[in-house]
Amino acid sequence: MAWNTVSLDWEGTVATLTVDRPDALNALNVETLEAMLEAIAEAEDEGARVLVLTGAGDDAFIAGADIKYMQDLEQDEAMAWGALGHEVADALAAFNGVSIAAVNGYAFGGGCEMAIACDLRVASESALIGNTEIDLGIIPGWGATQRLPQLVGDELARRLIFLGSRLDAKAAEEAGLFGEVVPDEELDERVAELAQELAAQPAMALRAAKRSLNQDGSQTAGLEYEKQAFASLFGTHDQREGMAAFVDGRDPEFE
């Protein structure tokens, strides 16, 4: 499928979803969110093992939700708008493979929220990130009050959201928001390398690990889920092959 403000490109089983509104620093409007939902579904339907999310141009990952669209919304419209953004963030979080945010510039507000909905984050040295919504008289509306504390801890998440702080890449890495930071010119190559490494992992095991890690109920329920997921892998090609390869002293050939 083709979209005006989003593209989906493939390299083997790695799909890259690029938000492409560089004139608005890739700010997210309704059309773009709807296109993202379709692109994520297409990547999943076509068997992507890894989904990379990034922004077009040199300046921005996603500079946030579109403020020009939001400024006159009434409460019922804001509710629908919030729900649409949540749907996209949830689709990234639940993606049937690994999602990676390649943060190549500004990631403010809803841009930060899309980045933290992904499984992993790799950023360029010049990236800036923050939940800056408070400066607009609102709060994060696409998941940061729940996802940010899990990444950086409760106290820091409160400070970042209350103050609308903008972190540079190094500070964000130290805070646990970015998994790694690389020179700007190396971002694409590093993300491609990580994505291919993940794509070569045994897919069912990766999915089971992700779903276990994503359990957000009680620890008891999570441990039960993990137990079931672990057992479900036995008898799969990759489990038999991985263990046979170990016993035979050779490299495994996963499906």
84 binds ligand DAK (CB under 6 A): no
Tell which one of 2, 45, 68, 255 touches ligand DAK (CB under 6 A).
Answer: 68
Site string for ligand DAK, 86-125 (x = CB under 6 A): --------------------x-xxx---------------
What's the CA gap between 12 and 50, in Å, rounded?
Answer: 10
Nearer to ligand DAK, 140 or 202 (CB): 140
Q: Tell me which long-range contacts 30-33 makes (C-beta under 8 A, separation of at least 24).
A: 30/69, 30/81, 30/84, 31/4, 31/5, 32/5, 32/6, 33/84, 33/85, 33/87, 33/88
133 in catalytic set: yes
Residue 200 and residue 59: Cα distance in Å, rounded?
31
What's the Cα-to-Cα distance from 103 to each of 31, 35, 58, 172, rounded to whole Å? 21, 19, 11, 11
Identity of the residue, 97 or 130, whose beta carbon is nearer to ligand DAK in the bound complex: 130
66, 119, 173, 238: residue in contact with ligand DAK (rule CB under 6 A): 66
| 34 classed as catalytic | no
Tokens 């993940």, located at residue? 198
Asked if residues 125 and 184 have their Cβ atoms less than 8 Å apart, the reply is yes
Interface region with ligand DAK, contact rule CB under 6 A, candidates 131-139, 154-162, 168-176, 239-247:
131-139
Q: Which is nearer to ligand DAK, 64 or 202 (CB)?
A: 64
* Residue 78 makes contact with ligand DAK by CB under 6 A: yes
With CB under 6 A as the contact rule, the residue among 14, 19, 27, 89 that binds ligand DAK is 27
Three-class secondary structure assignment of 96-141: CCEEEEEECCEEECHHHHHHHHCCEEEEECCCEEECCHHHHCCCCC
Q: Which is nearer to ligand DAK, 148 or 198 (CB)?
A: 148
Handedness of CA 45, 46, 51, 56 (dihedral sign): negative
Residue nearest to ligand DAK (CB): 141
Select which of 133, 155, 173, 193 is catalytic: 133
Dihedrals φ, ψ of 140, to 5°? -55, 135
Is 5 a binder of ligand DAK (CB under 6 A)? Answer: no
Closest CA to 113 of 195, 31, 27: 27
Specify whether the CB–CB gap between 28 and 19 falls below 8 A: yes
CB of 71 to ligand DAK, least distance (A): 9
Residue with Cβ nearer ligand DAK (106 or 178): 106
State the nearest-atom distance from the C-beta of 114 to ligand DAK, in Å.
Answer: 10
Residue numbers at the binding site for ligand DAK (CB under 6 A):
24-25, 27, 63-68, 78, 81-82, 85, 106, 108-110, 132-133, 136, 138, 140-142
Catalytic residues: 113, 133
